[in-house]
């Protein structure tokens, strides 16, 4: 579904997920993302939560550089997983805290810590929603879908500039 249509359905707290389908050796980044997909045996390489502010849809995510807020329109395509509302104040309270590649590796073994002040993407989403699942992108998406959530692929609206 195109972004212009789907954005009206997105609520704060919904889960957003990304895949990464480029070649393994285009860049170091591509290699690392494909390793995540390989080790998690998942289509998904990244997850985040939606935040609605001032009539816009933002992504609150843990990435290299720390937990940040970005317009969703700049990060398409992705998948929208309708989920329950979140405590936006709680989620925003860790904005700016650092990202950790070590946490990303530990997430594959369900060994992350929500209290050490460093984050990886699925650990952050799991903490925001207090999910009882491993801290991997696939586990977060699969848990939400098992709770009755729906999954919709969002494509960029090519008829207008994002």
Over residues 69-120, the pLDDT tens digits come to 999 999 999 999 999 999 999 999 999 999 987 777 777 667 777 778 899 9
How many domains, in total, are found in the chain?
1
- Write the pLDDT tens digit of every residue in 39-73: 656 678 899 999 999 999 999 999 989 999 999 99
In degrees and rounded to multiples of 5, residue 55 shows phi and psi of: 75, 10
Task: Give the CATH number, domain containing residue 57.
Answer: 3.90.1720.10
pLDDT of residue 159 exceeding 60, the answer is no
In a domain, 147, yes or no: yes
The candidate with the shortest Cα–Cα distance to 150, out of 82, 58, 65, 101, is 82
Residue 160 placed within a domain: no
Q: Give domain status of residue 41, yes or no.
A: yes
Question: 56 is in which domain, residue-wise?
Answer: 3-154
Q: Under a CB-based contact definition with an 8 Å cutoff, are residues 119 and 67 in contact?
A: yes
**Tokens 């249509």 appear where?**
5
Order of strands, sheet of 56-63, starting from the edge strand that comes earlier in the sequence: 66-71, 56-63, 46-53, 15-18, 78-81, 151-154
pTM for this predicted structure: 0.86
């Amino acid at each position: 579904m195109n972004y212009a249509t789907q954005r009206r359905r997105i609520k704060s707290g919904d889960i957003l997920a990304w895949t990464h389908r480029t070649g393994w050796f285009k860049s170091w980044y591509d290699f690392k993302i494909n390793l995540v997909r390989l080790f998690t045996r998942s289509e998904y390489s990244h997850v985040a939560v939606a935040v609605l502010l001032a009539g816009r849809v933002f992504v609150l995510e843990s990435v290299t550089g720390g937990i940040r807020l970005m317009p969703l329109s700049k990060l398409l395509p992705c998948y929208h997983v309708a989920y329950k509302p979140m405590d936006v104040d709680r989620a925003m309270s860790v904005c700016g805290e650092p990202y950790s590649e070590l946490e990303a590796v530990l997430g594959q073994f369900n060994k992350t810590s929500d209290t050490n002040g460093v984050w990886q993407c699925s650990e952050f989403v799991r903490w925001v929603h207090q999910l009882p699942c491993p801290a991997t992108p696939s586990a977060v998406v699969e848990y939400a879908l098992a709770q009755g959530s729906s999954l919709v692929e969002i494509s960029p609206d090519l008829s207008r500039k994002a």
